[in-house]
């Protein structure tokens, strides 16, 4: 059986659930029905950095909200799939569109709706506070909970392995 670190060598794309992964799962709902979520700035930096390094980043979420679209647009993520009732169908379209195989995708999810994608992706990861059922099938469980650095954790590991993470003598921006 291939261990987690060996699987990271094939990763070319990151796919994330949104609520509970890029956020702590809290949702503020206003009187007009709009919802707002809170993201982590370090996760955001890692996402932007990975995009600049040529990695494909996508969000596949069952939720729909302008706040998700706005956050991802600010970070340079163009493949945002919200309102997904069938995450596998969306994932298959994502693979085809980007000419990727399962082995080239690291997916991070936190709850039961993410289970089928976790089973399918080449590298299945989850936040520290994911559902028990998700933790049971994850290749890697971050030490960080959702919305508190778990996204940065997996992105940084992949980029370090590929020799693409920040170096003090390199100009980043």
pLDDT in tens, 146-167: 999 999 999 999 999 999 998 6
Cα separations in angstroms, 143 against 3, 31, 62, 116, 135: 18, 36, 25, 23, 12
166 in a structural domain: no
**pLDDT confidence of residue 113:** 95
Residue 30, pLDDT > 90, answer no
87 within some domain: yes
Is 170 a member of any domain? no
Distance CA 101, CA 84 (A): 21
Domain count, the chain: 1
User: Sorting pLDDT into bands at 50, 70 and 90, what band is 1?
Assistant: low
173 within some domain: no
Q: Report if residue 86 sits inside a domain.
A: yes
Determine, yes or no, domain membership for 134.
yes
Q: Is residue 171 part of a domain?
A: no
pLDDT, average across residues 42-67 = 94
Q: What is the β-pairing status of strands 140-141 and 28-29?
A: unpaired
* CATH number of the domain encompassing residue 54: 3.40.50.1000
For 7, the token pair is: 């699987």
What integer is the mean pLDDT of 125-149?
Answer: 97
Q: Above 80 in pLDDT, residue 168? A: no
Alpha helices in 10-149 (DSSP H): 41-52, 66-75, 87-98, 115-120, 132-137
Q: Identify which of 121, 103, 22, 8 has the alpha carbon closest to the alpha carbon of residue 63.
A: 22
Owning domain of residue 53: 4-161
Buried residues in 124-145 as b, exposed as e (16+ CB within 10 A) = bbbbbbbbeebeeebbbbbebb
Q: Mean of the pLDDT values across residues 30-48?
A: 89
Report whether pLDDT(172) > 80.
Answer: no
pLDDT, the chain, mean? 92
Q: Write the pLDDT tens digit of every residue in 103-117.
A: 999 999 999 999 999
23 within a domain of the structure (yes/no):
yes
């Amino acid at each position: 059986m291939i261990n987690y670190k060996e699987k990271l060598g094939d990763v070319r794309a990151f796919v994330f659930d949104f609520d509970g992964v890029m956020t702590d799962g809290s949702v503020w709902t206003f009187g007009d029905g709009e919802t707002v979520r809170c993201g982590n700035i370090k996760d955001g930096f890692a996402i932007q950095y990975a995009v600049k390094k040529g990695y494909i980043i996508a969000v596949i979420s069952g939720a729909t909200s302008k706040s998700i679209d706005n956050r991802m647009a600010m970070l340079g993520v163009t493949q945002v799939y919200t309102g997904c009732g069938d995450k596998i169908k969306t994932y298959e379209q994502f693979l085809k569109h980007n000419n990727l195989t399962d082995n080239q995708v690291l997916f991070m999810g936190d709850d039961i709706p993410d289970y089928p994608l976790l089973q399918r992706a080449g590298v299945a990861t989850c936040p520290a506070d994911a559902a028990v059922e998700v933790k049971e099938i994850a290749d890697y469980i971050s030490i960080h909970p959702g919305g508190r650095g778990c996204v940065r954790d997996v992105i940084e590991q992949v980029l370090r392995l590929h020799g693409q993470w920040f170096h003090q003598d390199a100009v980043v921006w």
